[in-house]
Structure 1
Amino acid sequence: MRRQVRLALGTLGGLALGVALWEGYKAVGNPDGSSLFGVRLLPRADDLSMPHVTDVLGRLARPELTGGRPVWLVVLDAAVFTLGITAVGLLAGGLFGLVLAVLMQRFRVVERGLLPYVVLSQTVPLVALAPLVAGWSGGLSFGAYPWQDWMTVAMIAAYLAFFPVAVGMLRGLQSPTAAGVELMRSYAAGWWRTLVKLRLPASLPYLFPALRLAGAAAVVGAVVGEISTGTRGGIGRLVIEYSREATSDPAKVYTAMLGAALLGLVVAGLVSLLELPLMRHRRRVQDHPVAARSQARPARVRAGRSGVGDPA
């Protein structure tokens, strides 16, 4: 629980620092930007390019259009729509990454054959990939239910989300000591029982940082996917629509960007909430006699080699 409190305080501190840097640069920066040898190094600090934070927050309370809904409600609806797509993509990508990590841990030939391509897959430009995915999936259907545009966006989000989970879980599944694995074998535990009782609990500290990265990647994938495929209703499409008014209403553009940033924080917070019960389960597993012996055995072995204690 203390870790989650520290995470929340760190998030609030980061937001405060970001606001201070934004307003500080706007106060001392050059309205026309700073250039060196014809290359712009710092952005313009005028109101058109960098509106005050108070102007952006105030724009949230005003109607999107004359007589329409307030901007914060429109951004909230779009963020909820994108959150649903992100959740589907994160779930699909996380499960695929988990299965891939288990296969790579179980079969060394799979790790040697697939891991380079898993890393290489993340070098493909997402903007170029999105139209291809949309073209491939356009003719698919699930019986009488045709393929929807949001499914394409969820697939793009899953494509970015699986990589951190696969790499992080592979490292976590390989983290148990050789003595712990040998102890499980001495109890006649097969591969599956060793996976459930030893490797999966040991991988949880590696899983949740990977899930937080996967959540952020899924948000990016969902937003870029909505922009690339033209999917309406989400925060990505809202960024495009509001950017058309950048010259006349610059604060409105940043309201959509603010919604996308807060969406990423919400996903990270949901992953942290999931971490609480699973880490408690891990502590209970560590207190199990078999797990305790697997952790204590290396110490006894080292003591026996040094001539102190029981070498057994």
Structure 2
Amino acid sequence: MDIALSPVRSARRVAPALAVILIILTLVVAWELIKLMFNLDKRTLPHLWEIAEAFGQPSRRNGPPLISVLIEAALYTLRGALLGFFIGAALGFVLGTLFAHLPLLERSLVPYVVASQTVPILAIAPMVVIWLRGSWWSVPVIAAYLTFFPVTINTLRGMRSPDPRAVELMGSYAASTWQTLWKLRFPSALPAIFTALKIAATASVVGAIIAELPSGVQQGLGGAILNFNQYYITGPERLWAAIFMAALVGILLFVAVSAIERIVLRNIVRGA
């Protein structure tokens, strides 16, 4: 039986990799077709191979290679994004859990939580920088601002996802609220929480980059994008390379959360 199912399992493992390759090839073809169809020059949209070549060229005259500069900037931005991600995820989990157990608190605060996301982040970022006196902490704070909302809402929904009969059964066994939370509600909420964490992972990178701009931080990807934007006419490939590096950081965080989700949910299923 296991021998018969092994080809099926192998195909299931290979399918996601093939899908990713197909998506990348589709984007590459679409990029070049758009450039060809609209006859876009280099300053408007450079070729993908020109952007790839830019990674190995100096970031400035007699300077280090662009790839080393962008990797260093990405690591700097990643530090602020990760800290903001953990702060926002923890805050969102706590708020979602409280809202699920305290309906009055939910009715009082959820409208404000939703309203907080209607204010453009570009308007909030300068104020946060001023309040924190331009310190580096403005980066994780703004990243946390974009992170906590999806985690809060999905945690709230996930905590209320268990079957009411299962909740009643826990009550019939005299289980405390704490025991019901960790043995029933939390495991049931994990799929929704991980969905929010994957969204929050990419949002934290966006928040970190946006925060670096008004903060005057030059070491991160925000500073690199701003710097290369000033020389876009003479070297558009460098700006696009910085943008691709920012996208890569977000993708890596998304993949990391997805890998953790697969491991955690698989262990829960086995434990059940």
What TM-score results when the alignment is normalised by the length of structure 2? 0.92
Question: Does residue 265 of the first structure (1) align with residue 246 of the second (2)?
Answer: no
Find runs of 4+ consecutive structure 1 residues off by over 4 angstroms. Answer: 1-9
Q: Which runs of 5+ in 2 are unaligned?
A: 1-8
Q: Which residue of 2 aligns with 1:98?
A: 93
Q: Which residue of 2 aligns with 1:144?
A: none
Q: Which residue of 1 aligns with 2:25?
A: 16
Match of 1:57, SS?
helix
Judging changes above 3 Å, is the alpha-carbon distance between structure 1 residues 119 and 99 closer, same or farther for their aligned structure 2 residues? same
Judging changes above 3 Å, is the alpha-carbon distance between structure 1 residues 206 and 259 closer, same or farther for their aligned structure 2 residues? same
Partner letter of residue 272 of structure 1? Answer: S
Distance 2:184 2:245 in 1: 41
Q: Which runs of 5+ in 1 are unaligned?
A: 32-44, 139-147, 288-312
- Structure 1 residue 55 displacement after superposition: 0.2
Match of 1:149, SS?
coil
| Greater RCO structure (CA 8 Å; 6+ sep) | 2
- Structure 1 residue 264 displacement after superposition: 0.7
Q: Does the Cα contact within 8 Å between 1:149 and 1:231 map onto a contact in 2?
A: no
Distance 1:261 1:231 in 2: 19
Partner letter of residue 99 of structure 1? Answer: V
Distance 2:191 2:175 in 1: 23
Q: Which residue of 2 aligns with 1:238?
A: 224
Instruction: Supply the RMSD in Å over aligned alpha carbons.
Output: 1.8
- Structure 1 residue 209 displacement after superposition: 1.2
Q: Does the Cα contact within 8 Å between 1:127 and 1:228 map onto a contact in 2?
A: no
Q: Which of 50, 58, 61 pairs up with 2:53?
A: 58
What TM-score results when the alignment is normalised by the length of structure 1? 0.80
Q: Which residue of 2 aligns with 1:169?
A: 155
Partner letter of residue 57 of structure 1? Answer: A
Q: Does the Cα contact within 8 Å between 2:129 and 2:214 map onto a contact in 1?
A: no
Q: Which of 110, 115, 121 pairs up with 1:120?
A: 115
Distance 1:262 1:219 in 2: 10
Match of 1:251, SS?
helix
Distance 1:14 1:118 in 2: 35
Superposed CA offset, 1:187-229 (max 9, x none): 1101100000000000111111110111111111011111122
Partner letter of residue 224 of structure 1? Answer: I
Question: Does residue 71 of the first structure (1) align with residue 69 of the second (2)?
Answer: no
Q: How does 1:1-312 map to 2 (within 5 A)?
A: 8-29=17-38, 31=39, 45-138=40-133, 149-285=135-271, 287=272
Superposed CA offset, 1:46-75 (max 9, x none): 211100000000011111122221101111
Distance 2:175 2:26 in 1: 52
Q: Does the Cα contact within 8 Å between 1:4 and 1:272 map onto a contact in 2?
A: no
Q: Which residue of 2 aligns with 1:40?
A: none
Q: Which residue of 2 aligns with 1:305?
A: none
